[in-house]
Amino acid sequence: MLATNFRGPRRVRVDQKPEPEIKHPQDAIVRVVRACICGSDLHLYNGSVPDTRIGTTFGHETVGYVEEVGSEVKKIKVGDKVLVPFNIACGKCVFCKQQLFGNCHESNPQATAVGGIFGYSHTAGGYDGGQAEYVRVPYADVGPMVVPDWMDDDTAVMLTDVTPTGYQAAEMGGIQKGDTVVVFGAGPVGIMAARCAWLFGAGRVIVIDHIDYRLDFAKKWCPAEVYNYEELPDVVQFMKETTDWIGADVAIDAVGAEATGRIGQTLLGKKMHLLGGAATALQWAINSVRKGGVISVVGVYGPVGALVPIGNIVNKGLTLRANQASVKRLLPRLVEHVENGILTPKDLITHHIPLEEAGDGYKMFSLKLDNMIKPVLMPPKANKTVH
């Protein structure tokens, strides 16, 4: 089968690989019809995530048809079209029982933090991902959801990560009616977080980035106030000025390890990889929020330390919440929002790219070319109809 093949930093190609096989009675094999390139995949692509091994197939956002199931799989069957959450979760461990599906202990038992994630380095279990013609799905009775007949493939694939992550970013902010919310990062997750902030009662939503076409999209779609940080003398001072010198009530870091904007952070975290990423957005969030405010972090950082002003968190009395989104927990509410037209996540998709051209897709996404917001990969056997 065709599949992406990581060959080192900024080198992704598409090669022939063996088709996956059932390895456990709870496995399923899914024929992929949609797979996304995620902003967090760029952390892998650029070499920012430890233990990303040569030969890995990336991709944690997948929709496809069930081709084969293990002997213990009861809830899905051959022929079902399923969306596959990026979390790999057993459904039975102490963390899954708390609906912390992003922290499953069985799917990544050697880790002390994150659970298993498709196509996301050996720090997340070493599972091959869905940027391929076929993917093995462990715990197939837990994660996958049968796609409703009324839902198109593009909408379904946006429910595997982007929509639940953006929604949980707003949810973790504990937004109260009338709150001012600032979102750092106008990628797909940041845009979705800004949109979802309104659902929780925000009175004002601000998005900060430095890519003008992404800010223009956020301004129209969220909708939100947007600001290019390269045009601001000082981001934190601006946030104080625009909130009567109080600060935002809630700040969301939707950037993570590859933030730009501060030379020291960029050098140590992005160029030299001495930190778990450039925590520029997180610093801005901590320093821009009011005393007693809330920081919500969904941007991905590596498992080693970063330069974070912990003293400001303590002395300002901030609440810091962070995690990988628990997709399975959020899906029922999000499907309802989509069905009722409250959320239209496929609007964020700007490019459909043949799987064979995934290497070019990674370059375009990394370099922010052609006004790309969200790219979707199309395997050769995928349904060519784009709704």
Give residue 260's pLDDT band: very low, low, confident or very high (50, 70, 90).
low
Characterize 15-51 residue by residue with b for buried, 16 or more Cβ atoms within 10 angstroms of its Cβ, and e for exposed: eebeebebeeebbbbbbbbbbbbbbbbbbbbbebbee
Of 217, 85, 88, whose CA–CA distance to 158 is shortest? 85
275 pLDDT higher than 60? no
* Residues 299-318, mean pLDDT to the nearest whole number: 81
| The residue type at 351 | H
Checking if the pLDDT of 304 tops 70, the result is: no
Distance of CA 105 to the CA centre of its chain: 20
Percent of the chain residues topping a pLDDT of 90: 83
Average of pLDDT values for 303-324? 86
Beta strands 374-378; 349-354: pairing state: parallel
Q: 87: part of which helix (H) or strand (E)? A: strand 87-88
Amino acid found at 21:
E
Query: What is the Cα–Cα distance from 128 to 120, expressed in whole angstroms?
Result: 8
294, two tokens? 């809330």
Specify the higher pLDDT residue, 40 or 381: 40
pLDDT in tens, 100-147: 999 999 999 888 789 999 999 898 999 999 999 999 999 999 999 999
pLDDT higher than threshold 50 for residue 245: yes
pLDDT at 251 > cutoff 90: yes
Q: Which residue has the higher pLDDT, 112 or 76?
A: 76
Is the pLDDT at 239 greater than 80? The verdict is: yes
Tell me: the pLDDT tens digits for 159-196? Answer: 999 999 999 999 999 999 999 999 999 999 999 999 99
pLDDT > 60? residue 379: yes
What are 314-346's pLDDT values in tens digits?
A: 999 999 999 999 999 999 999 999 999 999 999
Q: Indicate the fold that domain 2-161+326-378 takes in CATH.
A: Quinone Oxidoreductase; Chain A, domain 1 (3.90.180)
- Choose between 261 and 93: higher pLDDT: 93
Percent of the chain with pLDDT over 70: 92
**φ, ψ for residue 166, nearest 5 deg:** -65, -40
Phi and psi at 51, nearest 5°, equal 60, 35
Cβ-based burial of 248 (10 A; exposed 0-12, middle 13-18, buried ≥19): buried
pLDDT score for 104: 96
DSSP calls for 162-193:
HHHHHHHHHHHTT--TT-EEEEE--SHHHHHH
> Has residue 269 got a pLDDT over 80?
no
CA angle, corner 371, sides to 369 and 373, nearest 5?
105
pLDDT at 215: 98
Output the pLDDT for position 265.
55
From the candidate CATH numbers 1.10.287.3510, 3.40.50.720, 3.10.150.10, 3.20.20.190, the one assigned to the domain spanning 164-322: 3.40.50.720
Please tell me the predicted confidence (pLDDT) of residue 266.
53
Find the DSSP H helices in the chain.
39-45, 153-157, 162-172, 188-199, 212-221, 235-241, 263-265, 280-288, 310-316, 327-339, 358-367
Asked if the model's pLDDT at residue 385 lies above 50, the reply is no
| Confidence bin at 68 (pLDDT 50/70/90) | very high
Confidence of residue 301 (pLDDT cuts 50, 70, 90): confident
pLDDT value at 274 more than 50: no
pLDDT computed for residue 303 by the predictor: 63
What is the Cα 337 distance to its own chain's centre? Answer: 19
Task: Show me where the domains of the chain are located.
Answer: 2-161+326-378, 164-322
CA distance 344 to 113: 32
Q: How many CB atoms lie within 10 A of CB 347?
A: 16
Q: Inform me whether the pLDDT recorded for 387 exceeds 50.
A: no
Reply yes or no on whether the pLDDT at 272 is more than 90: no
Q: What is the mean pLDDT of residues 206-214?
A: 97
Query: Is the confidence at residue 307, as pLDDT, over 90?
Result: no
Q: What is the pLDDT of residue 382?
A: 79
Mean pLDDT of the chain: 92
Residues comprising the chain, all counted: 387
Residues sharing a CB contact under 8 Å with residue 174, sequence separation 6 or more, in sequence order: 250, 294, 319, 321
SS3 5: strand
pLDDT in tens, 353-377: 999 999 999 999 999 999 999 999 9
Beta bridge partners of 88: 116
- Tokens representing residue 309 in the block: 């002003």
pTM: predicted TM-score of the whole model, two decimal places: 0.93
